[in-house]
């Protein structure tokens, strides 16, 4: 395994992070425990979860993922071996069964206390805001369309004050953001620069993969100049970059088969690009999944690559990407395809 540090800290984390959002829906508790056992044995010490998981969000499965992680901690007594990240859900129609009050002080405290109880721990290493409260472009929206009727009162200062107080209580070690834009990222950083008592945002968890490299447009420079690390999610684009959907295949039990609305990475242009990447991987005797993950692993703004799997076979292949070294010729081939089909999946 390879390691890096959470920016502005001495916390060492594996460059592969174990994603958990299928546990409690596509994966059982036993399977989740098996994945954590294997990941830890392979040197992965960084797990990412959320109060919303498993996905898709549903009242009957609310926060089962955190509970599965909690029972694993209790069974093994190894909380100290894991750098644990979780998230408070944002405001949306599909989260009304959790709460409707956004990131108020009371909401953040309620969310954190719930996560701590389910995770059976007294602290979370990295606590993240799952997505912005304001209306902006995330979750597959390529561009920002401002609407005059949108109303959002800028409460970022108050949010950071609440998170600071929870850090002082020892319940949170550091804070991060997720699904953020360049504007939002700089607003969080601005507050902590102007007000020294407020916590600095150290990570941003956004999508990044061969079909969606929009992070490079505005956020990569912020990441490098401000030292805010990317936690890349969906590095295989909902599994599309494994190649398993090519040829109009729809494997039984796959995410798109189970949840047909998860087609963010399945447009006609995205399929064309995926086919090109698949052919390139074949030419170099490497699996498409490992090529796609290994490329993400090379990015200079990356802190950790969040992989996820529903089977142990997938998990082993994904973790194995850390040992893949892409040749200059292969990287040149990737960039050529990217120039021909830039960011087909926002």
- Residues annotated catalytic, as ranges: 53
State which H helix or E strand residue 101 sits in: none
Omega of the bond leading into 54 within 30 degrees of 0 (cis):
yes
Q: DSSP code of 23?
A: B
**Contact of 126 with 118, CB cutoff 8 Å:** no
Which residues make beta-bridge pairs with 84?
47
Give rounded-to-5 percent helix, strand, coil for the chain.
Answer: 45, 15, 40
**Range 231-270 burial, b when 16+ CB lie within 10 A, else e:** bbbbbbbbbbbbbbbeeeeeeeebbbeeeeebebbbeeeb
- In the block, tokens 């969040």 appear at 306
Which residues make beta-bridge pairs with 86?
127
């Amino acid at each position: 395994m390879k390691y890096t540090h959470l920016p502005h800290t001495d916390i060492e984390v594996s460059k592969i992070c174990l994603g958990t959002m299928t546990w409690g829906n596509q994966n059982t508790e036993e399977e989740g425990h098996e994945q954590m056992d294997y990941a830890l044995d392979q040197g992965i010490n960084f797990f990412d979860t959320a109060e919303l998981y498993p996905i898709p969000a549903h009242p009957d499965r609310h926060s089962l993922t955190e509970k599965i992680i909690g029972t694993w901690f209790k069974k093994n007594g190894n909380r100290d071996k894991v750098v644990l990240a979780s998230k408070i859900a944002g405001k949306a129609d599909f989260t009304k069964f959790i709460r409707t009050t956004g990131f108020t002080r009371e909401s953040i405290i309620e969310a954190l206390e719930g996560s701590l109880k389910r995770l059976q721990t007294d602290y979370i290493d990295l606590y993240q805001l799952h997505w912005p409260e304001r209306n902006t472009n995330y979750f597959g929206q390529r561009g920002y369309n401002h609407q005059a009727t949108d109303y959002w009162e800028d409460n970022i200062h108050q949010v950071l004050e609440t998170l600071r107080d929870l850090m002082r209580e020892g319940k949170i070690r550091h804070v991060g953001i997720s699904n953020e834009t360049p504007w939002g990222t700089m607003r969080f950083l601005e507050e902590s620069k102007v007000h020294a008592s407020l916590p600095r945002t150290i990570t941003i968890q956004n999508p990044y993969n061969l079909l969606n490299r929009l992070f490079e447009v505005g956020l990569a420079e912020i990441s490098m100049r401000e030292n805010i690390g990317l936690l890349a999610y969906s590095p295989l684009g909902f599994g599309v970059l494994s190649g398993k959907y090519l040829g109009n295949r729809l494997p039984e039990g796959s995410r798109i088969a189970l949840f047909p609305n998860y087609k963010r990475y399945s447009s006609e242009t995205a399929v064309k690009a995926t086919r090109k990447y698949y052919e390139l991987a074949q030419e170099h005797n490497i699996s498409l999944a490992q090529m796609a993950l290994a490329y993400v692993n090379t990015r200079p703004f990356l802190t950790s690559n969040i992989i996820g799997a529903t089977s142990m076979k997938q998990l082993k292949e994904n973790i194995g990407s850390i040992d893949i070294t892409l040749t200059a010729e292969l990287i040149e081939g990737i960039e050529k395809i990217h120039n021909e089909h830039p960011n087909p999946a926002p």
